[in-house]
Amino acid sequence: MNVAIGQVLRFLIVGGLATLTDALLFTLLVTGGLDPRLANMISFPLSAVLAFLLHRHWTFAARAEPAGGQALRFTLMCCAGLTLSTSVVWALAPQLGPLPAKAIAICGTVVLNFSLSRWLVFRRSATAMS
**Buried-state track 69-94, b at ≥16 Cβ within 10 A, e below 16:** ebeebbeebbeebbeebbebbeebbe
Across the chain, mean pLDDT equals 89
* Banded pLDDT at 127 (limits 50, 70, 90): very low
pLDDT at 130: 43
Rg, the chain, Cα only: 15
Domain ranges across the chain: 3-129
Residue 19 has pLDDT above 60, yes or no: yes
Residue in 45, 26, 19 with CA at minimum distance from that of residue 89: 26
Contacts of 24 (CB under 8 A, 6+ apart): none
* Banded pLDDT at 4 (limits 50, 70, 90): confident
Amino acid identity of residue 93, one-letter, is: A
**Buried-state track 30-56, b at ≥16 Cβ within 10 A, e below 16:** beeebebeebbbebbeebbeebbebbb
